[in-house]
Amino acid sequence: MGLMDGKKGLVLGVVNDWSIAWGISDQLHKEGAQLGFTHLPDKDPTNPKMAKRVRKAVEGFDPKLFLPCDVQNDADLDAAFVAAKETFGTLDFVVHSIAYAPIDDLKGHVYDCSRDGFKTSMDISVYSLMAVCKRARELMPNGGSILTLTYLGGERVIPGYNVMGLCKAALESSVGYLAHELGQQKIRVNGLSAGPIKTLSGSAVKDFDKMLEMYDALSPLRRNVSLEEVGKSAVYLLSDMSTGVTGETLHVDSGYHAMGAPPGDAKLGG
């Protein structure tokens, strides 16, 4: 019997089979969860590359629901949760794995970030969680769990993470406020702060390979984390194993977040 047997949930943010949302979905499926998925709409409906790519990635999870959703579009969000209600009746969990910043704003200096780029980054990376919680709560009459994905760059300065660090700081703050507001409905809201993993979004971060090297050399476990490890930790936060946990940010990063100085035996490439 799996930890998620009988549990029904919606996953937002799978892009391919090496995205963090995919790793979480893989573990949820293995533990017995019934899953629905949204994907970013294709700009050209006659050439649905995104839909095909995501469908191929999740087809092994026996998806009960699969539809496009642009989180900047309230009508799309409404439609996604209406479809979830029609498919599942109620929801037990939601995975929010969505973040975006225009590439020029992400790679440039924070002080050079454009006004429009900042608005777009915050809208997609932060406001979308609030919008998702607003709709998910109506499908969780018996309580539930909502999980978002964050990163250490929201707590500390990670050179190269730039405007996305500002977004993650706001996202983690929203986790606490949402946990407070939804707690009386027995809805838990948590964040999972994973170490760097090679994903499509991660590849856009400047000096990403150096980040991997730093974690490998400086973390207490002296290695990077795997997609499987992140997925298993997400199952914990989404399952009944963590019913007393809310407003929390769980670090799954080989302990890197705990370090204040490099260990004496640290070896970094020249």
How does pLDDT run across 18-63, given as a tens digit for each residue? 999 999 999 999 999 999 999 999 998 889 999 999 999 999 999 9
User: Are 129 and 148 a contacting pair, CB within 8 Å?
Assistant: yes
Domain boundaries, the chain: 8-253
Q: What pLDDT is attached to residue 110?
A: 98
Give the list of residues 6+ apart from residue 37 with CB closer than 8 angstroms, or none: 10, 11, 12, 14, 25, 54, 58, 61, 63, 65, 66, 67
Distance CA 204, CA 102 (A): 10
> Where in the sequence numbering do the catalytic residues fall?
151, 161
**Closest C-alpha to 187, from 144, 249, 229, 132:** 144
Q: Which pair of structure tokens corresponds to residue 143?
A: 């309580």
CA distances from 154 to 100, 150, 239 (A): 14, 7, 25
Q: What pLDDT is attached to residue 212?
A: 86
Cross-sheet strand order for the sheet of 187-194: 65-68, 34-39, 8-12, 93-96, 144-150, 187-194, 249-252
Q: What pLDDT is attached to residue 229?
A: 98
Q: What pLDDT is attached to residue 211?
A: 82
Give Cα 97 distance to the centre of its chain. Answer: 2
Q: What stretches in the chain show pLDDT beneath 50? A: none
CATH number of 8-253: 3.40.50.720
**Closest C-alpha to 162, from 207, 214, 227, 194:** 207
Q: What pLDDT is attached to residue 72?
A: 98
Q: What pLDDT is attached to residue 202?
A: 60
Q: Please state the pTM of the whole predicted model.
A: 0.94
Q: What pLDDT is attached to residue 214?
A: 87
